[in-house]
Each structure stands twice: as structure tokens, then as C-alpha cells.
Amino acid sequence: MEIIIQPDVEAASRLAARFVARLIRDKSRAVLGFATGQTPLPLYEELCRMHREEKLDFDRITSFNLDEYVGLDPAHPGSYRTYMWTHLFGRINIDPGRVHIPDGLAPDIPLYCEKYEDEIRAAGGIDLQVLGIGTDGHIGFNEPSSSLVSRTRIKTLTVETRRDNARLFGGEKKVPHHVITMGLGTIMECRTCLLLAFGARKAEAVAQTVEGPVSAMVPASILQLHGRTIVIIDEEASSRLRRSEYYRYVYEHKPDWQKV
């Protein structure tokens, strides 16, 4: 696990975008996994700028999103399909036929989840998965107590998560109770995981993820066992880390061939 501390959200997001862009330039048919929420928005804005100003080409990539609400119309402003097309897909030259976002209206959810896993395998697996983290340590919608080997499935959201997402639904009571989400086992099969976390509210979750024990009660902590996880955080999100100075030292002394 590589921990990279940046001065602020903007610097962290620009760096994250360079990781994504390097993959796309090195592998034009890359398979990317995308997250939603507030955290990746500056990253997506920078990728759009790179496409517009630097001709970053998304034409051949394939994408898979982490999750979607169950029972929500895809056109609803709170749906993740709406989110992705508003903030990224509608602003780059991605092929709509290569975009995969879970279908929250699927009539047979268990069967649909199996097919989603099959589609990931058929695409050759995910090269790089963008992740955010909840204040309780969840990634995707794998809430605390999720199985560390779980696959794509339906999950029930916690009260805390529903409260955090209430702004797009006009109140907590209108937030769906259930979601389809990639499982922790699915995420662990991605070749690279790129975890972003910003702000003091995420500091404790970051500390438990990076320096705490691996536990289903902090789902993101499973990333300690991943072969290549890159954690990019701002100063505030790093405030509870015990070894932050060491992480800074490591990053500042990387050999040139490892730098992005």
C-alpha cells in the first residue's frame, strides 16, 4: 500500500488523474472502475480537462461502476447513471457500449449480479479501480461487517450512509435502503486500486484502513492485502496517521522511473 499525502484536494486529484491518464496512454483498451460521490468529482473534472486540452482518448476503454441504488429510475438526479453521464461520460469520447453501470431496476437481482461479475471477467478484469471511502470505512457500498470475500450483490445501507447521501434525494427518508455493489472480493481482483480521501471527516477511516487491523468492521482495511493499492489523501485526511512523516519521506524519495 502506497500512501501519498498532498497539500489539498486539487493537488491530490490532479495526481490521481495522472495515474489514470498514464494507464490509458499505456493501454488504450484499459478497463477502468469508477466510483461516485463527492470525492472523485475533482478527479473527473481533471480527466475531462485532459480530454479537452491534452487529447486524452477514452474511445477504447471499458468502464465498470461500483454500485447503484435498487429501485431507482436511471433518470433520477440521485442515480449513479445520471451522476456518471453528467460529470464524466457525457464530456469525454467514451463508447456508450463499453459503459457498465449496475442496473438497479433488474427484475432478478441475484442473477443480474452474477452477470455483472461475468461481464467484468469477459472484459479481462479491471485494470484500475477508483475508490472513495465512507466515514465508517466502507468502500463501494460494502458496509461494516461485509464479507471480505464478497462478490457483486445487494446490500442494505446503514443509517449513516443514507444520511450522508440525503442531499440528492430531498431528505434522508427518500434515500433508497438497498443498493447493488461490487463486493470486496471483486474489488480485490482489480489490478490497481486508487483510493481517494479528503477532509478531516475521513481521517479516522483512513487511519484505520492504513494502520489498523484488517477487519470486516472497517471494510477498506482489506486493501492492506492488495498487491497494488495507491492511497492519495489531503493533509486533513492524513491527520490521524501515526507514520505520516514516513509516508512523505517515501514519496519524496521515489526513483524517477516510479514517478507519475
* Contact residues for 30 (Cβ-Cβ < 8 A; gap 6+): 23, 24, 61, 62, 127, 128
DSSP, res 134: -
Alpha-carbon dihedral angle through residues 113, 116, 122, 123, given to the nearest 10 degrees: -150
Burial class (CB in 10 A: 0-12, 13-18, 19+), 126: buried
Residue type, position 8, single letter: D
Sole residue written with cell 517515501: 250
- Amino acid code (one letter) for 228: R
User: Count of CB atoms within 10 A of residue 226's CB?
Assistant: 18
List active site positions.
67, 136, 138, 143
Q: How far from chain centre, in Å, is Cα 91?
A: 19
Q: Rounded to an integer, what distance in angstroms lies between the CA atom of residue 225 and that of residue 185?
A: 11
Task: Select from 129, 117, 247, 255 the least CA-distant residue to 194.
Answer: 129
Q: What are phi and psi of 171, to 5 degrees?
A: 130, 150
Q: Which residues pair with 178 in a beta bridge?
A: 156
Nearest-angstrom CA–CA distance, 39 and 13: 9
